[in-house]
Amino acid sequence: MKIHSVAGEVAVEQVQKTMIHEHLVFDLSGVRNDTDSILENNDALNLEIEKLKVNGCNTLIEVSNMGMGRDAQSLYDISQAFNLVIVASTGWYKESFYPDYVFTTSKEDLAAKMISDLTVGMDGTSIKAGLISEIGSSLNEITPTEYKVFEAAIQAQKETGAPLSTHTEIGTMGKEQLAIFKNHNVNLKKISFGHQDLNLNFEEQCLILDSGAYMQFDTVGKNRYRKDEDRADNLVALLNKGYEDQLMLSCDITRRSHLLSNNGYGYSHLFTVFVPMLKERGVSDEVIEKMLVLNPRKFLAY
């Protein structure tokens, strides 16, 4: 069982504090029609990574996939420059961001493309993905094409054993995603549901966790969606219900304006603001280590 980074297989013990759902180099400007949605390998990112390393973070899970400006070579270069474990992703995001070919390609051929990314290399390189992510649904619906992508991702997951992480738009459709996985007899211990800190339905959160799947509180710092204080209270309530072995954390940085050099909150906000917030609420160092280190190790290894 190894973690499959852009620099090759990594022993699980090498993985320390982990951000489970991030974007380092990506480009959604074509869909969003703004330049704020471009992240690059540059001095601004270097500053972010230096702050992360000071806080003991050495592992970043990059969930930018095909159609999101994924850049395998840049991820490899960053991993080498900073001695980081970076796990790259294969898959497609949600319908409004799909490349045109996704609509006309069979689920079998989509699965084959993901399997190739995981076993041969991405985008004409020998740099391999180590995760199927972020496989998404739209706000309050799973479109027919999104359903096809879910089925393709499930096929790729079963054939490779790779972990699979989802996107739930503003926390919606988690229960419906779970139903797809159950209907296809997926090993739910290799599935993680994204953006569930935006799901205000506590009973649904518990339903997902009761399946054995992982859950991400991964939009920490995005206070216009939900205040961090409310996220922390929600997370503590789940911890008090006994789900500490299934929860993972991140910030999901997606804009230049989020970066420290642009007076944003930055990736390190997770460690400098949110983790202290959890400690103030009585969460122990042991449980924090589970969410940041031990749970990601278990989820990612295959």
pLDDT digits (tens, 9 = 90+) for 136-185: 999 999 999 999 999 999 999 999 999 999 999 999 999 999 999 999 99
Q: Which amino acid is at 138?
A: S
Beta-sheet strands, E only, within 77-230: 85-87, 89-90, 131-137, 164-168, 191-193, 214-217
* CA dist., res. 183 & res. 181, Å (int): 5
Q: How many CA atoms lie within 13 A of 296 on its CB side?
A: 33
Band of residue 12 on the pLDDT scale cut at 50, 70, 90? very high
Write the pLDDT tens digit of every residue in 77-129: 999 999 999 999 999 999 999 999 999 999 999 999 999 999 999 999 999 99
Residue 302 has pLDDT above 90, yes or no: yes
Residue 231 has pLDDT above 90, yes or no: yes
Residue 33 has pLDDT above 90, yes or no: no
The range of the structural domain enclosing residue 198 comes to 3-300
Q: How many domains does the chain have?
A: 1
Tokens (6 digits) for 35: 């330049």
Q: Which amino acid is at 104?
A: T
Beta bridge partners of 85: 59
Average pLDDT over residues 213-228: 98
Band of residue 11 on the pLDDT scale cut at 50, 70, 90? very high
- Eight-class DSSP state of 13: G
Pairing of strands 89-90, 85-87: unpaired
What is Dmax (Cα atoms) for the chain?
A: 51
Contact status, residue 288 vs residue 279, Cβ threshold 8 Å: yes
Residue 32's pLDDT is: 87
CATH number at residue 96: 3.20.20.140
Contact status, residue 178 vs residue 148, Cβ threshold 8 Å: no
* CA dist., res. 133 & res. 230, Å (int): 26
Contact status, residue 270 vs residue 56, Cβ threshold 8 Å: no
End-to-end CA separation in angstroms for the chain: 5
Band of residue 30 on the pLDDT scale cut at 50, 70, 90? confident
Band of residue 201 on the pLDDT scale cut at 50, 70, 90? very high
Band of residue 297 on the pLDDT scale cut at 50, 70, 90? very high
Residue 150's pLDDT is: 98
Q: pLDDT above 70 covers what percent of the chain? A: 100
Average pLDDT over residues 213-232: 98
What is the SS3 assignment for 292?
Answer: helix
Residue 119's pLDDT is: 98
Cα torsion for 279, 258, 193, 150, to the nearest 10°? -170
Residue 54 has pLDDT above 90, yes or no: yes
Pairing of strands 38-39, 26-27: antiparallel
Beta bridge partners of 210: none
